[in-house]
Amino acid sequence: MCKEEKVIDRKMELEKMDGFELHHRLSQVDPEMAAKLHPHDKRKVARSLQVFEETGISHSELLSRQHAEEGGGPLGGPLKFPNPCIFWLHADQAVLDQRLDKRVDEMIASGLLEELKEFHRRYNQEKVAENCQNYQHGIFQSIGFKEFHEYLISNDQCSPEASNLLLTKGIEALKQVTKRYARKQNKWIKNR
């Protein structure tokens, strides 16, 4: 087993533990980070514990060191490459929202639903049957999959009207999270 597989396995092992137990363990090794994270945010708590286990340095200390490096700041460590050139195309928010809605509609027209159905059939159906699907790992956490969860699991089990309602709900949810993500990207650029 390679080192990368061990790291992924350890993180998954930690995430299987109770959130409050994980948070308690983190508070013992990194009280500063534990104060910033909620016990229900198991993914981040597990990541902080994993950082400590792998490096022997608390996650908060590691981040503090990165921020203190030349070129670092309150948002993170220095950029990876010297003298970067960053282009940022700005659009009025209303115009951007319309473009994003149109983009989602084009994705649907280009076969997104068929791709989601096939992916669900091949990789997620067994997890749904066991009620252990997890939208916190890998491709399942990406924008565009979890928004259609109800539609995908109800396939052929409800009336066409109900199915269309779930589809519409999924499309609207995808549009919302896409716009939210774009706003988050813009905020990150502005703060950088």
pLDDT for the residue numbered 97: 96
Side-chain-facing half-sphere of 3: CA atoms under 13 Å? 1
- Nearest of 41, 51, 47 to residue 20 by alpha carbon: 41
The predicted model gives 17-32 an average pLDDT of: 92
Which part of the chain is CATH 1.10.20.140? 10-68
Measured in degrees and rounded to the nearest 5, phi and psi for residue 73 equal: -165, -165
**Residues 91-119 pLDDT 10s:** 899 999 999 999 999 999 999 999 988 88
Residue 132 has pLDDT above 70, yes or no: no
The predicted model gives 148-174 an average pLDDT of: 89
Residue 138 has pLDDT above 80, yes or no: no
Query: 93-191 maps to which CATH number?
Result: 1.10.287.890
Residue 48 has pLDDT above 70, yes or no: yes
Band (pLDDT 50/70/90 cuts) for residue 1 is: very low
Q: The domain 10-68 is classified under which CATH number: 1.10.20.140, 2.60.40.10, 3.20.20.150, 1.10.150.120?
A: 1.10.20.140
Which part of the chain is CATH 1.10.287.890? 93-191
Measured in degrees and rounded to the nearest 5, phi and psi for residue 25 equal: -60, -40
Q: What is the 3-class SS of the chain, one letter each residue?
A: CCHHHHHHHHHHHHHHCCHHHHHHHHHHHCHHHHHHCCCCCHHHHHHHHHHHHHHCCCHHHHHHHHHHCCCCECCECCCCCCCCCCCCCCCCHHHHHHHHHHHHHHHHHCCHHHHHHHHHHHHHHHHHHCCCCCCCCHHHHCCCCHHHHHHHHCCCCCCHHHHHHHHHHHHHHHHHHHHHHHHHHHHHHHHC
pLDDT for the residue numbered 133: 61
pLDDT for the residue numbered 164: 92
